[in-house]
Each structure stands twice: as C-alpha cells, then as structure tokens.
C-alpha cells in the first residue's frame, strides 16, 4: 500500500491539518511563497516518489492565485513521482460550466484541462455548483455533500420553529430540497433571473406561503450576496417572520455583508470550505470519510 501524505495548501491550512489528523496521515513538509510581484513558489524537501499525496487547497479569492498554487504543487509532486489527488473544498469556476453567452469560454473545462496536465489524477470537491460540471473532467472527480452537516448544525444550533426551506433558484433546488427533506421541513422554490451582462438578480414570486414563518434560504454559494438579498426581500415582503441564510461556500465578495444586513437576513451559516467568520460548519469529516474510500 502506497504511503499517504497531506499537503495543507495556503488557502486551506486549517482544513488540511484537520484532514491529516482525521485520516491519521502525516503532513508534507512544504513551503508556499508569494513574491512581492505576485509570483508564487512551491518548495518541498520531502521525498514523495511512489507516495500518494492529497493536496488540500480551496480556490476562493484570490481565485487565480489559489488555483495556480494548486497547479504548481500538483505539478512538482507528480514530476517527483507522487500520485496526486487534489482536494479542493470550494471549486472556483464551477459556475462557468457552459457557454451562457455566445463566444463565452467554458472556463471550468479549461481548469479541468490545466489540472490534468499539472498531474492531478483525481479531484475531490464539496458541493460542486452543478453536476453537469463533473462531465468536463477527463479524470475521476467526486463531489461530497455538505448538506447533512449543515442540517445537523441547523437542528442543533438554530432553534427554528417549523421553518420553510427555500431555494432561491431552479439550479440549486435539488440541493435545497435535500436539505428540507433531511430537516423535515416544507420546501419552496423561488424563480430567479440574473442579467447575464450586469449580474443583477431579481426574484419574482407573488404567492409564497410564508406568512409568519421562519424562512431558511439554502444555496451553494454566497458571492456578491445579490441572490440571498433578493430572496430575503421577497419572503419578508410576503409576511415571513424572519429570514436566515445557509450556504456551503461563503465568499462574501465586496459589499455582500452590507447587502444581507440591509435585506434583514438575521443569521448566516456557511461551511469551512472557505475560511471566514460565518464558516461554522466543518466539512473535514465528510471529506475524510470520502478520502478513506478511495483506492490507491
């Protein structure tokens, strides 16, 4: 059996360490450096030939830097003879999984191509934006669900009374419906449109049955906050008692938090696929359980 190692990348140091501990395998001794001009360097003196290395590196902002660090480490380790599994808790570019506007690149396909050429043999991520994205990879890729862990947290910590669980759009509705089913709550789906050029989000739904209810908005990503803001405003306008946001990947770009505050979102819960103030739910056990099942 090949010896295993975990490389905790700079974007996921804590999660990487926690995974190593849970799996009972040592951390690779390595250093990432970013030079003043923005160039990255990866150094390791460990001998990795014939070993299996889990490179744990999320790709939240600065997205391209984090992706490049992942590629750099994967390339060097694989050149030295390691079998590299990329563990990317938040997979950036997953929303660019098709040509939405004429002439637009399918960037997730390009990321998949770069990973393969860097020497990544397998990819494990958490709640990829859409299952369609999986087809763009020409090597094995697995998406682990954080939904059971989020439901467990909501049940234990949020003290909700007969909540209604809402998906802000059609795309994420399967994931949100799974949350509602596991929680044992009513599920509703909103209709959202996003202007593909400006990114402006609007939600239109006239008769939602949310009067006096606590509404939990469940989504995969909070980026600019526009989606959750629109959903929260819609349900509060229709008589909901309060709105809460639960998501897997909390990016909170720009003034996202101010937007959510303005839209009276009373509580925000995310996972630690992206480290931050709202990353209250740990996905390391869900990831570790999956990594244990992988063959050599």
Between strands 242-250 and 214-222, the pairing is parallel
- For ligand R5P, the closer CB: 55 or 222: 222
Residues 271/281, Cβ–Cβ less than 8 Å: yes
Q: How far is the CB of 129 from ligand R5P (least distance, A)?
A: 6
Q: How far is the CB of 45 from ligand R5P (least distance, A)?
A: 40
Q: Is 192 part of the annotated catalytic residue set? A: yes
| Cα(59)–Cα(291) distance, integer angstroms | 19
- For ligand R5P, the closer CB: 223 or 271: 223
Using the contact rule CB under 6 A, the part of the chain among 3-11, 54-62, 166-174, 232-240 near ligand R5P is 166-174
Q: How far is the CB of 14 from ligand R5P (least distance, A)?
A: 24
Q: How far is the CB of 82 from ligand R5P (least distance, A)?
A: 34
Cα of 63 vs its chain's centroid, Å:
12
Q: Which residues ranging from 204 to 233 are in contact with ligand R5P (CB under 6 A)?
A: 219-227
Q: Which of 96, 169, 188, 267 binds ligand R5P (CB under 6 A)?
A: 169
Q: Which residues ranging from 68 to 127 are in contact with ligand R5P (CB under 6 A)?
A: 95
Residues 234/191, Cβ–Cβ less than 8 Å: no
Q: How far is the CB of 184 from ligand R5P (least distance, A)?
A: 24
Q: Which of 10, 89, 172, 275 binds ligand R5P (CB under 6 A)?
A: 172
Q: Which residues ranging from 7 to 66 are in contact with ligand R5P (CB under 6 A)?
A: none
Q: Can you point out the beta strands (E) in the chain?
A: 4-8, 30-34, 40-44, 52-56, 83-88, 120-126, 141-144, 164-167, 186-189, 192-194, 201-203, 214-222, 242-250, 265-271, 279-281
| Cα(285)–Cα(288) distance, integer angstroms | 5
Using the contact rule CB under 6 A, the part of the chain among 51-59, 165-173, 203-211, 284-292 near ligand R5P is 165-173
Q: Which residue of the set 51, 192, 213, 259 is catalytic?
A: 192
| Cα(191)–Cα(202) distance, integer angstroms | 8
- For ligand R5P, the closer CB: 218 or 291: 218
| Cα(87)–Cα(31) distance, integer angstroms | 18
| Cα(133)–Cα(149) distance, integer angstroms | 23
Residues 75/118, Cβ–Cβ less than 8 Å: yes
- For ligand R5P, the closer CB: 56 or 230: 230
Binding site for ligand R5P (CB under 6 A): 95, 168-169, 171-172, 201, 219-227
Looking at the annotation, which residues are catalytic?
A: 192
């Amino acid at each position: 059996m090949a010896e295993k190692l975990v490389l905790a990348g700079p974007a996921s140091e804590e999660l990487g360490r926690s995974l190593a501990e849970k799996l009972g395998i040592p951390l690779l001794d390595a250093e990432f450096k970013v030079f003043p001009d923005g160039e990255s360097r990866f150094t390791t003196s460990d001998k990795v030939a014939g070993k299996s290395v889990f490179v744990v590196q999320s790709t939240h902002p600065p997205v391209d830097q984090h992706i490049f660090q992942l590629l750099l480490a994967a390339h060097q380790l694989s050149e030295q003879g390691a079998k590299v599994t990329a563990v990317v808790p938040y997979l950036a570019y997953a929303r660019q999984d098709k040509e939405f506007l004429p002439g637009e690149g399918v960037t997730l396909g390009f990321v998949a191509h770069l990973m393969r050429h860097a020497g990544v043999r397998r990819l494990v991520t958490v709640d990829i934006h859409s299952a369609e994205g999986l087809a763009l990879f020409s090597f094995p890729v697995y998406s682990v669900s954080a939904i059971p862990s989020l439901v467990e947290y909501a049940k234990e910590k949020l003290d909700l009374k007969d909540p209604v669980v809402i998906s802000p759009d059609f795309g994420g509705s399967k994931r949100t419906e799974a949350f509602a089913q596991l929680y044992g709550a009513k599920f509703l789906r909103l209709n959202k449109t996003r202007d593909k050029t400006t990114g402006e989000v609007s939600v239109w739904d006239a008769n939602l049955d949310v009067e006096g209810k606590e509404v939990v908005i469940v989504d995969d990503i909070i980026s600019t906050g526009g989606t959750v803001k629109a959903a929260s405003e819609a349900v509060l306008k229709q008589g909901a008692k309060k709105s809460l946001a639960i998501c897997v990947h909390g990016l909170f770009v720009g003034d996202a938090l101010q937007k959510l505050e303005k839209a009276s979102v009373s509580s925000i819960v995310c996972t630690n696929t992206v480290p931050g103030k709202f990353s209250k739910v740990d996905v390391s056990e869900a990831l570790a359980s999956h990594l244990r099942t992988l063959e050599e």
